[in-house]
Chain A
Amino acid sequence: MEQIMEQMPVVLHSLNIGFIQTLKLFFVTLIGAFPLGLLMSIGSTSRIKPLSWFIKLLIWIIRGTPLMIQLLIIYYFPGLVLHNPIWGGGETGRFLAASFSFILNYSCYFSEIYRGGIQGVPVGQEEAGLVLGMTKTQIFFKIKLLQVIKRIVPPMSNEIITLVKDTSLARIIALQEIIWAGQAFMKGSQGISGAIWPLFFTAVYYLIFNGILTLLLGRLEKKLDYFR
């Protein structure tokens, strides 16, 4: 116990650095995948057939394969096969490759959620807007958007919580997120080895962060509860 108290500052320092990587990847993914997912959902229902086929194929591949394989291929393929390591070997390169993979992966999941949300709004809503002389843009922003948001918040919340935990997969291309940081003390790092308790601490970080997210998303859901 005494030993743990002594090691605590070192471990927490490491975990904090790892957690910042986790958070960075989490937010970058959301910022990228929210709009890209919307574009993809519009594209997949586009009248330009080759575009919609391409996007549907992409969604099928990305949703049908593990994110871990996507990370490995996206990071190593350019250097291994094309002999052009576009991402670079440093921390920045690994982060960029991880962000790219996560944004691509999550956009595909989000696009399906958006599609479901948009298609879930009854056709009568658009028709009622049209006969009242509204433009398509007004109908989207004034009538449909909020109804779409209400529909997508619950499935989106699930994906967001999953994303928090999925960020740990980036460890496969040696992005040093919080689990990497916690596990380092098992193997031996900064004079501390064979310590499993830092790993329990990483779990606490996840729990707290997911707790806050669940709370916020729950509030948003409740806020939209005023209509049906």
Chain B
Amino acid sequence: MKRKMISMFLAAAMVVSVTASVFAAEESDKAYVQDKGTLVIGITDFAPMDYKEEGSDEWVGFDADMAKAFGKSLGVEVEFVEIDWDNKIMELDGKTIDCVWNGMTLTDEVTSSMECSNAYCKNAQVVVVPSDKAEEYQDTDSLSGLTFAVEAGSAGEAEVSNLGLEYTPVKAQADALMEVSAYTSDAAVIDLLMAAAMIGEGTGYEGLTHTVELNSEEYGVGFRKGSDLAEALNEFFVTSYEDGSMMECAEKYGVQDAVVEQK
């Protein structure tokens, strides 16, 4: 019910804002951000991209550190704001944030509603099952008959529905994991990078493991539609890839294997 209300409101707001933006004078988003002196970055708590170390108040992570460096190159402060992921487009269009930089998968929906940077990280949608059953589910064919929990509107949902599997949409990827560990669903589909950080030995979900990769996909950074900041970020990515600072940062957070070459 809540989701329905929000999406209805979102749809209405987008119609209004699209109509309104036709009349709005085109101006440089980069100049707007530099003028106010802060780049407001919409994030969620998502290790290892954007997160806080135990007992610290500072946002760190591969995305957070790169965002700080990008801010420096623009000559502005960066401010991290935790948002409700459902509202990210509204937040951007309403100018309450300036970009979404949070391990965001570049889906059709994302690229059509935001101005996106080039891909900077590889990712995949992976199947998560209890470790003791992992043997049985090593290929796509073995998955039929299972009930899945997936984040509503996520790339994972698109994959399971393409395969014609039975699934329950839940609010967040974390809820999908909760479903599996509570045995209310047989399996979940979540991001590979998230799975690597959140399940297995030494995590809150020691009894879970990931098996089949359903697809491969890429992460990008989203700006307001038509923003010139996307181009500025692409240039920044190239520079920092060439001088090695991007890889250095990736190694710090253990995501070096996933980084996409920038050129």
Q: Give the B-binding residues of A (Cβ under 8 A).
A: 10, 13, 66, 68-69, 72-73, 75-81, 83, 85, 87-91, 93, 171-174, 176, 180, 184, 186-196
Contacts and interface: CB of A to CB of B under 8 A. Distances in A.
24 contacts: A10-B55, A68-B2, A69-B9, A73-B9, A76-B90, A76-B94, A76-B96, A77-B13, A80-B13, A80-B90, A80-B93, A81-B16, A81-B17, A89-B79, A174-B83, A187-B46, A187-B172, A188-B51, A189-B51, A190-B54, A190-B55, A191-B54, A194-B203, A195-B204
Interface size range of chain B in the complex:
35 or more
A83 B177 CA distance: 39
A75 B54 contact: no
Contacts of B9: 69, 72-73
B84 interface: yes
A72 B175 contact: no
B178 A196 contact: yes
Which 3 residue pairs of A and B lie closest in terms of their CB atoms, listed nearest first?
Answer: A194-B204, A79-B94, A187-B174
Given A89-B81, A174-B82, A194 B94 contact: no
Given A72-B6, A190-B54, 11 more contacts: A10-B55, A66-B5, A72-B9, A76-B87, A79-B96, A80-B13, A172-B6, A174-B83, A184-B45, A188-B47, A193-B204
B97 interface: yes
A81 B94 CA distance: 8
B53 A89 contact: no
Given A80-B93, A81-B13, A81-B16, A186 B6 contact: no
Contact of A188 (B16, B95, B197): B197
Contacts of B95: 79, 83, 85, 89
B79 A193 contact: no
Interface in B18-49: 20, 24, 40, 42, 44-47
Interface of B: 2, 5-6, 9, 13, 16-17, 20, 24, 40, 42, 44-47, 51-56, 79, 81-84, 87, 90-91, 93-98, 172-175, 177-178, 181, 197-198, 203-205
Contacts, number: 122
**Secondary structure dominating the interface of A:** helix
Contacts of A172: 6, 84, 87
Nearest to B17: A80
A87 B97 CA distance: 11
Contacts of A184: 45
Contact of A90 (B53, B81, B172, B173): B81
Nearest to A184: B45
A78 B16 CA distance: 12
A100 to B, nearest CB: 14
A90 B81 CA distance: 6
A68 B81 CA distance: 20
Contact of A76 (B5, B13, B47): B13
Given A174-B83, A176-B82, A191-B53, A87 B96 contact: yes
Contact of A89 (B40, B47, B198): B40
B6 A193 contact: no
A10 B56 CA distance: 10
